[in-house]
């Protein structure tokens, strides 16, 4: 058995048999019995063992003294084992070591003493290992080959009943779990799981590990939430898209298949990538400087469609071909209905704008009496199809493509958004609304109330009927109807296939060879021939086809053509 420490500690652990002078043996025996009964065994000359050892020297053959000494030795061994079993602190271990020195001094050859001294030695080495284990623990060396865990386990193997080594092993597990939770809170889930695996190898306590896994999972979900929130907040500004994508990448590294947080952010990023701050199908209106609202818009979804007429389509012409694919990688918003007289009136009042019909003093109207179109003086944007004043909810007519672009420029300035005439591809995409049939509604006869065009059942104020009309159809109007009076299409747009035809930004081109495939306008600088698309209140069946297109001088005004705008997102 070794003794550690300085000289003062050596004095505590060492023991020398106290000198005892006996003048009255019987009195000394009585005193020894009393000390033995009280457990005072070896410390002073009045203790049981020093007294009995002196009596044995004085009277070596006394059987009673030998019996008392044997009892004292047994009591000392019992005390020593109790102290050793309780040696969880240095004081208890030193006391056990001191009693070991007494036993070794007096009975070095006894087997019981040798066994006890071996136990003391193992306890002392276990105590030293445990102390070293805690030093390693504080330095952060937890479970490496020469770290705290190995040291604690070695101490436990030497002295299984030592609580401190078991507590050290539990502390290693706890620190690994704490590190795992910290890693998880920082988003390092792989690192956290690796630490949990190391923690499982410490004690493999299912309950503790279940709690630890739960905490790491909570930290993972919380980190996901923080990343998702940061990404969503960033998407509120146009320059935040890349930041949001980086946060999504971070989320995907730690996401589970059942996690919805990353899915939500990815869907929102996709939406913003294609639609800015909007969502497909969303209806909105921009705020004007006086806190009123601009025209009602709807966000069209991204997608792909076949533009133009299929080869062999009835009533089609070569200018509507070849049918070709157009891809819209980014969404855009379109006015839900044509620009109204009231909306155009607001523009004119704010700017004193002089539309082309005002400058010329005339436009082309429908003459109700003759049933023909005629040029009439005094007609402008505020007039209806028949030249009479139009209500504010009617589509504005008698405007040129330039007038439409002037309105778009004013609206853009007022809302600080970019409004413009639609491209031909955008208009046909909105007109079809996912339907690749011959007509906006599909193929065959039109359903009731689908739109406003020349129906065989329509009757003019003078009792006239259309010469070339859709058989069996009537919409109740001879002339344009208030905007939004008929069924909206699958994209939420009204009057795309009827009511009034609409100006397009594209210049006229014969056919679609070399046409843009991304939905952009096909323009030539300074061109004076534009197009308008979509059927009107007086359109014959062949003009109701989704692929129908017609050219018009950019300066043309008449009772059949109005416009609507699109807005960049």
What does the pLDDT look like over 420-432, one tens digit per residue? 999 999 999 999 9
Cβ atoms of residues 357 and 346 within 8 Å: no
Mean pLDDT score of the chain: 92
Q: How far apart are CA 392 and CA 337, in angstroms?
A: 13
Mean per-residue pLDDT, 378-391 = 97
Prior bond of 322 cis (ω within 30°): yes
What does the pLDDT look like over 278-321, one tens digit per residue? 889 999 999 999 999 999 999 999 999 999 999 999 999 999 99
Cβ atoms of residues 221 and 198 within 8 Å: no
For residue 56, give both structure tokens: 């044995």
The pLDDT score that the predictor gives to residue 278 is 86
Name the DSSP letter for residue 5: S
For residue 13, give both structure tokens: 């652990």
Domain ranges of the chain: 7-133, 162-276, 297-337+400-567
Cβ atoms of residues 522 and 424 within 8 Å: yes
The pLDDT score that the predictor gives to residue 18 is 92
For residue 352, give both structure tokens: 């004193």
What predicted TM-score, i.e. pTM, was given to this entire model?
0.64
The pLDDT score that the predictor gives to residue 13 is 63
Name the DSSP letter for residue 390: P
**What percent of the chain has pLDDT above 70?**
97
What does the pLDDT look like over 8-52, one tens digit per residue? 455 556 789 999 999 999 999 999 999 999 999 999 999 999 999
Mean per-residue pLDDT, 62-90 = 88
What does the pLDDT look like over 125-136, one tens digit per residue? 998 999 999 999
346, pLDDT greater than 70: yes
**What percent of the chain has pLDDT above 90?**
81
User: Tokens 């062949």 — which residue?
Assistant: 542
What does the pLDDT look like over 444-472, one tens digit per residue? 999 999 999 999 999 999 999 999 999 99
Stronger pLDDT, 260 or 86, i.e. the higher one: 260
Measured over all CA atoms, what is the biggest interatomic distance in the chain, rounded to whole angstroms? 159
The pLDDT score that the predictor gives to residue 3 is 40
Tell the burial category of 236 from Cβ atoms under 10 Å away from its Cβ (0-12, 13-18, 19+): exposed
Return the CATH architecture of domain 297-337+400-567: Alpha-Beta Complex (3.90)
Phi/psi at 385 (nearest 5 deg)? -65, -25
The pLDDT score that the predictor gives to residue 271 is 81
What does the pLDDT look like over 132-159, one tens digit per residue? 999 999 999 999 999 999 999 999 999 8
User: Tokens 């919409």 — which residue?
Assistant: 475
């Amino acid at each position: 058995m070794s003794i550690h420490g300085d000289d003062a500690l050596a004095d505590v652990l060492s023991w020398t048999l106290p000198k005892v002078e006996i003048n009255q043996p019987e009195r000394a025996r009585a005193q020894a019995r009393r000390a033995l009964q009280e457990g005072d065994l070896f410390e002073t000359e009045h203790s049981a063992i020093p007294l009995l050892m002196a009596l044995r020297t004085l009277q070596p053959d006394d059987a009673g003294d030998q019996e008392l000494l044997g009892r004292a030795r047994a009591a000392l061994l019992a005390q020593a084992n109790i102290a050793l079993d309780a040696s969880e602190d240095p004081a208890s271990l030193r006391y056990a070591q001191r009693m070991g020195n007494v036993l070794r001094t007096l009975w070095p050859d006894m087997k019981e003493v040798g066994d006890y001294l071996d136990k003391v030695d193992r306890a002392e080495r276990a105590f030293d290992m445990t102390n070293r284990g805690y030093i390693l623990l504080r330095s952060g060396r937890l479970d490496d080959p020469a770290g705290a865990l190995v040291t604690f386990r070695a101490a436990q193997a030497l002295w299984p009943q030592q609580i401190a080594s078991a507590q050290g092993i539990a502390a290693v597990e706890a620190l690994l779990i704490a590190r795992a939770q910290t890693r998880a809170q920082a988003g390092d889930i792989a690192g956290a799981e690796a630490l949990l695996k190391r923690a499982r190898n410490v004690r493999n306590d299912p309950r503790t590990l279940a709690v630890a896994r739960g905490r790491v999972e909570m930290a993972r979900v919380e980190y996901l939430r923080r990343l998702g929130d940061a990404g969503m907040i960033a998407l509120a500004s146009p320059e935040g898209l890349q930041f949001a994508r980086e946060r999504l990448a971070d989320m995907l590294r730690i996401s589970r298949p059942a996690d919805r947080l990353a899915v939500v952010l990815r869907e929102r990023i996709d939406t913003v990538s294609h639609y800015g701050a909007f969502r497909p199908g969303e209806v909105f209106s921009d705020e004007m400087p006086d806190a009123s609202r601009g025209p009602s818009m709807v966000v069209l979804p991204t997608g792909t469609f076949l533009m133009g007429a299929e080869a062999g389509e009835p009533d089609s012409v070569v200018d509507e071909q070849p049918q070709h694919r157009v891809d819209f990688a980014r969404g855009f918003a379109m006015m839900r209905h044509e620009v109204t007289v009231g909306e155009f009136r607001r523009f004119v009042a704010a700017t004193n704008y002089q539309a082309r019909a005002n400058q010329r003093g005339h436009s082309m109207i429908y003459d109700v009496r003759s049933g023909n179109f005629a040029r009439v003086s005094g007609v402008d944007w505020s007039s209806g199809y028949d030249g009479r004043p139009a209500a504010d909810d009617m589509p504005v007519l008698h405007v040129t493509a330039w007038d439409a672009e002037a309105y778009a420029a004013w609206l853009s300035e007022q809302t600080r958004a970019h409004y413009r005439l639609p491209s031909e591809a955008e208009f046909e995409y909105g007109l079809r609304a996912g339907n690749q049939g011959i007509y906006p509604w599909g193929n065959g006869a039109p359903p009731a109330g689908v739109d406003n065009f020349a129906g065989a059942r329509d009757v003019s104020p003078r009792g006239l009927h259309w010469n070339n009309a859709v058989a069996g159809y009537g919409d109740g109007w001879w002339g344009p109807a208030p905007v939004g009076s008929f069924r909206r299409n699958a994209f939420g747009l009204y009057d795309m296939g009827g009511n009034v035809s609409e100006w397009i930004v594209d210049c006229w081109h014969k056919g679609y060879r070399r046409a843009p495939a991304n939905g952009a306008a096909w323009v030539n600088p300074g061109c004076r021939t534009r197009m308008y698309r979509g059927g009107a209140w007086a359109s014959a069946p062949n003009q109701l086809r989704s692929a129908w297109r017609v050219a018009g001088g950019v300066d043309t005004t008449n009772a059949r053509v109005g416009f609507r705008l699109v807005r960049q997102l």
